[in-house]
Structure formats: C-alpha cells, structure tokens
Amino acid sequence: MGRLVRNLKRLILIICALVCIAPRLVANGNLPKSIRIYPEVEGFWFLDGFLDFGCEVTYINGGKRRTAGYLNGNLPWKELVCQSDQAIFHGDRMIVDLFKVRQNNNTLVVNVHMRDFTICKSTYEIKIPPLQSLRVIIPDPQKARYGSVIEPYVSLSWANGVSYTYKCSDPKSMIPRDSVELFFNSTRVFDGKVHLPAFNMLESHTFSLSALWSGKPWLYDIQVYPYRGKEHAVWKFETANGADARKQLPAPKGMDGAEGFHGLPGSDAEEVTLKLYVREDKKKLIVEATNGTSAFRKEFSPDEFSLEVIARGGNGGDGGKGGEGGSAPFDNPSGAGVGGKGGSGGRGGKGAVVSITASPESESFIPCIIVDNADGATGKPGKGGRGGQFSSGYGVPTLLDLLFPTRNYDGDPGENY
C-alpha cells in the first residue's frame, strides 16, 4: 500500500512538471523526441583516460541540435545531465577511470538525459577495442653491441586503428608495466633495459627479444638480432637496374594512341660466395666475398665482428606513357582517338644466391653475418595517354576549343604482371 502511494505521488509530480513545461516547449516546437551520444571512439581514450564526446537532440518538429564543443553545435551543456559510475564530466570531455572500466568487462557506460525533460534519455556503452598486434623493436640495431645496454620498444595496434609505440623502460608510458612481458632470450626483463653480455667465442652471436601481452599468450612477437661489432662492415654487390621505357609518340588524327613501351627487367644478381677462416695466429677473423665481378676482403677482431652483405636483384624499369589519341580530323569533328594504355613496369631481378663456407674455428661467426638478397622491385606502370581533342567546327578550332579543349577518353595506366 505504501509503495502504491509513493508511485502515485511520483506520477503526480511528473504530470505537474509536464503541465508546466510541455506547453512552453510545444509552443516553441522544441519538445525533445530523442537524444544520442557521439563519443570519439577512434582516439586514445582507453590509454590516457580522456574521452571527448557530444550529444545530438532530435525534436518533434524534426529539428536537431548538437552540443557545443566536440560536435561544434549550439546546445548548451547545462541543458543536459551526464552520469556514469566510471567517469566524471567537464562539458564535452569525460575523465574516465580506466580501472573501473576494465573491471566492468572493458565497458564504459554513460547515461544522459535532458535536465528539464527527463524522459528524453539515452544510454551508451563503449568497449575498449581489442588489441590486434604487438611488435618488439630495437630502433637502432647498430647499438646492439657486446657489453652494451639497449632499451627495446614495443609497438601496439588496436582494432579501432590506434597505434602506440613506447619504450619499455619509460615510466611515463600509457601502458602499465605489467601489461607486457619482455624477455631477453629466455630471461624475463623487468625494468625494460637489456644488458648484453661480453663477447664469448663459445656463445651464440645472435640474441632474441620477445614480448607478449599478459593474459593473452597468442599476442606476442619474437625477433632475432645479431650482435653488432665496432668493426661492422657493409658490403654491397651492385646489380644493374632495368631501363625506363620512353614515352610513346602521339597518334595521327582520328586514331587511337598506341600502348606505351614496357620497362625493361632488372638483372638477376650473380651468386655470391663468402669464405670465413681464422688467421694462423688466432688473433684475426678473415672474411672474403666475391660474385665473380666484385670482391671484398677484411680482417676483423673476433670480438668486434659483424657484417652485412647486400646482394639484391636489380629494380625493373618504369613503364612508358601511352600515346596521345589523335585529334579529330577535318571531316569528322567527333572522331578524336582514345588515349593509349600505359606500358607495364619491368619485373625486378632475382636476388643472389649467397653461399658461405667456414673453417671449423670460424663456424660460430656465421650468425654475425646479415644477408639481404631480396628480389628487385618491379618498375612503376606507365600512365595512360591523353585522349584526342574534339573539335566543335569542321576541323577549325574555336576560341572555346583552344581555352577549354574537350577530349576523348584517356588511356588506362599500365598493368604489371
């Protein structure tokens, strides 16, 4: 009985409010019909805790108003009431308690209603986007030297398009330190700083860095790096690139433009052979490399050795532009030719086969050699030729034709196969 009385009193208050407010609103055509929340879901809110948002109110007369600030509207925020157990509000910005959001199944819940018309209300749920990829990075592999300290980075990407890269040792990072586990080989690194060991002939000359997202073992990355020495060398074997194609000539009047010339293919890289052996006095490591045309030789200190060998295939040449369609002939003002198709880019040459032989004393140094024997890049396809120019008269261009020439279709760009 008591509950019934309370509900009746509440209903009477609502009716009284409507009696006082509704006539004024209806008279002005401003009776709210619905309200919608628009948050900036593509931002970093789930990292920094700041979420910009706005509201749009639709009225019974079909009109709409948007809030000031984020949505650039003219509806004052004082006419709305925004509420959430997980955030506080300052106009068009929420300050989000990310801990409470994570406790609520990674979901932020926001309620909003009109201050003077509380039955016009809306609830919006926004979830923290799922993490899609994780990578561990050394910004400068040249600093991965024996006995040095390196500070790896982790790069993260989420489903809403946001990416964030941070140094694992940075205490000001927006990523909680316990969210990502970092490992040097099989050893957990807690402070984000990796202390590389001193040179040891018997140990591997490469090391691994791995990172994984805590609680989600399928989100991880492993990278293997060679130790870099102070005597690091780069040996590059040059391979000829394919020549770019020349531009096609314009077509005669009334004819379509010819297809563009094709770029020439890049040359295949010649096989490279490397030989490693230790000098008789055991103080120097000797490395020799040749492809029959060029040759390199150098003596390295064993504890400072690292080498990069580049033996890529040649890049293909760019395709030529298609021929321009012929202009309309004297007796056929609408008979301009179509522009010719662009030529295709030349294929890239194959990277070199790199073979390494080593004496028993030098075999442990093979991992210190980085080989880049990628195929060459394919050339760019040529542009299509311009369509031929129409004429509005009988072969005699008017002033309008000269200033604003009309043309037939341009040719398609070339295709690489």
Indicate whether 43 and 3 sit together in one domain.
no
CATH of the domain at 207: 2.60.40
Indicate whether 63 and 161 sit together in one domain.
no
Look at residues 40, 232, 242 and name the one whose alpha carbon lies nearest to residue 148: 232
User: Do residues 353 and 395 share a domain?
Assistant: yes
Question: pTM for this one?
Answer: 0.56
392 and 346 in a common domain: yes
Q: Same domain, yes or no, for 247 and 194?
A: no
Residues 244 and 320 in one domain: yes
**Listed residue (245, 220, 243) closest to 343, CA to CA:** 245
Contact between 340 and 385 (Cβ < 8 Å): yes
Judged on CB neighbours under 10 Å (0-12, 13-18, 19+), 10 is exposed
C-alpha 89/C-alpha 31 separation (Å) is 25
The C-alpha atoms of residue 115 and residue 118 are separated, in whole angstroms, by: 6
Instruction: At 404, list the tokens.
Output: 């604003």
The predicted-structure confidence for 266-292, as pLDDT tens digits, reads as follows 999 999 999 999 998 888 999 999 999
In 3D space, the residue among 350, 406, 364, 409 whose CA is nearest the CA of residue 385 turns out to be 409
pLDDT tens digits in sequence order for the chain, 417 residues long: 555 555 555 555 555 554 444 444 443 457 899 999 999 988 899 999 999 999 999 999 889 999 999 999 999 999 999 999 999 999 999 999 999 999 999 999 999 999 988 899 999 999 999 999 999 999 887 788 888 899 999 999 998 889 999 999 998 899 988 899 999 999 999 999 999 988 776 677 788 999 999 878 889 999 988 777 777 889 999 999 999 999 999 999 999 999 999 999 999 999 999 999 999 888 899 999 999 999 999 999 887 788 889 999 999 999 999 999 999 887 888 889 999 999 999 999 999 999 999 999 888 888 788 899 999 999 999 999 999 988 765 555 666 666 667 888 999 999 987
Nearest to 92 by CA among 65, 72, 106, 114: 72
Could you give the number of structural domains in the chain? 4
Do 339 and 234 share a structural domain?
A: yes
Containing structural domain, residue 3 = 1-28
Verify that 245 and 196 share a domain, yes or no: no
Query: Both 103 and 182 in a single domain?
Result: no
Residue listed under structure tokens 């749920």: 125
Residues 14 and 41 both lie in one domain: no
Q: In this predicted model, what pLDDT tens digit does every residue of 134-181 receive, in sequence order?
A: 999 998 877 888 888 999 999 999 988 899 999 999 988 999 888 999
Residue with tokens 């590389």: 196
